[in-house]
Amino acid sequence: MQSDVVDNAQQKTANPAQSGSRFSGLSLPLVAAIICLPLLVVIAAFFVGIFSAEQRENLAHLWQYVIGEYVRHSAILLVGVGVLVLLIGVSSAWLTTACRFPGVKWLRWALLLPLAMPAYITAYTYSGMLSYEGPVQSFIRNLTGLGYGEYFFPEIRSLPGAVLMLALVFFPYVYLLTRAAFIEQSSAAIEAGRTLGLGPWASFWRIALPMARPAIATGVTLALMETLADYGTVHYFGVTTFTTGIFRTWYGMGDQVGALQLASLLLTAVVVLMVIERVSRARSRYHGAGRSSSRAKPHQLKGLKAFLAFVVCFVPVLLGFLLPAAQLAWWSVDRAEIWLQPGFWTLVQNTVLLAAVAAFITVLLALWLCYGKRRRPTPMIRSSVGLATLGYAIPGVVIAVGVMLPLAWLDNRINDVGEALFGWNPGLIFSGTVVALLFAYTVRFLSVSIQTVDSGLSQIRHSMDESARVLGLSPREVLKRIHFPLLRTSILTASILVFVDVLKELPATLVLRPFNFNTLAVRAYEMAGDERLADAGPPALMIVLAGLIPVILLSRAMGQRNESEPAAGAELKPEEIYEPVKA
**CA-to-CA distance for 201 and 91, rounded, in angstroms?**
12
| Cα atoms in the Cβ-side hemisphere of radius 13 Å centred on 216 | 21
- φ and ψ at residue 295, rounded to 5 degrees: -90, 165
Among residues 391, 502, 407, which one has the least CA distance to residue 446?
391
Adjacent-strand bridge partners of 299: 99
Predicted local confidence at residue 2, as pLDDT: 45
H/E stretch holding 561 reads helix 537-564
The pLDDT tens digits of the residues spanning 49-74 come to: 655 666 666 667 777 777 888 889 99
Q: Is residue 9 part of a domain?
A: no
- φ and ψ at residue 299, rounded to 5 degrees: -85, 130
* Statement to judge: residues 328 and 340 lie in one domain: no
End-to-end CA distance of the chain: 50
Residue 565 is classified by DSSP as: -
**CA-to-CA distance for 72 and 63, rounded, in angstroms?**
12
* Statement to judge: residues 343 and 328 lie in one domain: no
Predicted local confidence at residue 439, as pLDDT: 92
Q: Is residue 529 part of a domain?
A: yes
Domain extent, residue 344, equals 17-37+336-533
* Statement to judge: residues 380 and 262 lie in one domain: no
* Statement to judge: residues 514 and 556 lie in one domain: no
Among residues 404, 493, 412, which one has the least CA distance to residue 440?
404
**CA-to-CA distance for 48 and 366, rounded, in angstroms?**
33
* Statement to judge: residues 228 and 261 lie in one domain: yes
Query: What is the SS3 string spanning 81-111?
Result: HHHHHHHHHHHHHHHHHHEECCCHHHHHHHC
* Statement to judge: residues 384 and 323 lie in one domain: no
Predicted local confidence at residue 505, as pLDDT: 87
Q: Tell me the DSSP string of 159-209.
A: HHHHHHHHHHHHHHHHHHHHHHHHHH-BHHHHHHHHHTT--HHHHIIIIIH
State how far the alpha carbon of 33 is from the alpha carbons of 37, 41, 381, 437, 544, in Å: 6, 12, 11, 18, 34
The pLDDT tens digits of the residues spanning 241-281 come to: 888 888 887 777 767 777 777 887 888 888 777 777 666 65
Q: Tell me the DSSP string of 421-433.
A: HHS-----SSTTS
Count other Cβ atoms within 10 Å, centred on residue 60. 12
* Statement to judge: residues 95 and 218 lie in one domain: yes
Q: Please say whether the beta carbons of 267 and 39 come within 8 A.
A: yes
Predicted local confidence at residue 575, as pLDDT: 39
How many domains, the chain? 2
* Statement to judge: residues 324 and 345 lie in one domain: no
**CA-to-CA distance for 336 and 534, rounded, in angstroms?**
10
Using only C-alpha atoms, the chain has a radius of gyration, in whole angstroms, of 26
* Statement to judge: residues 260 and 115 lie in one domain: yes
Q: Is residue 4 part of a domain?
A: no
Q: Tell me the DSSP string of 508-558.
A: HHHHHPPTT---HHHHHHHHHHTT-TTTTHHHHHHHHHHHHHHHHHHHHHH
* Statement to judge: residues 226 and 191 lie in one domain: yes
Burial of 194 (0-12, 13-18, 19+ CB in 10 A): middle
**CA-to-CA distance for 353 and 347, rounded, in angstroms?**
10
H/E stretch holding 228 reads helix 213-229
Predicted local confidence at residue 325, as pLDDT: 92
Q: Is residue 555 part of a domain?
A: yes
* Statement to judge: residues 555 and 410 lie in one domain: no
Q: Is residue 494 part of a domain?
A: yes
Q: Is residue 492 part of a domain?
A: yes
Q: Tell me the DSSP string of 341-407.
A: -HHHHHHHHHHHHHHHHHHHHHHHHHHHHHHHHHH---HHHHHHHHHHTGGGGS-HHHHHHHHHHHH
CATH classification of the domain holding 495: 1.10.3720.10
Q: Is residue 504 part of a domain?
A: yes
Residue 300, classed as helix, strand or coil, is strand
**CA-to-CA distance for 354 and 368, rounded, in angstroms?**
21
Low-confidence ranges of the chain (pLDDT < 70): 1-25, 46, 48-59, 184-209, 254, 277-297, 459-460, 462-473, 475-476, 479-480, 483, 557-583
Q: Is residue 226 part of a domain?
A: yes
* Statement to judge: residues 319 and 348 lie in one domain: no
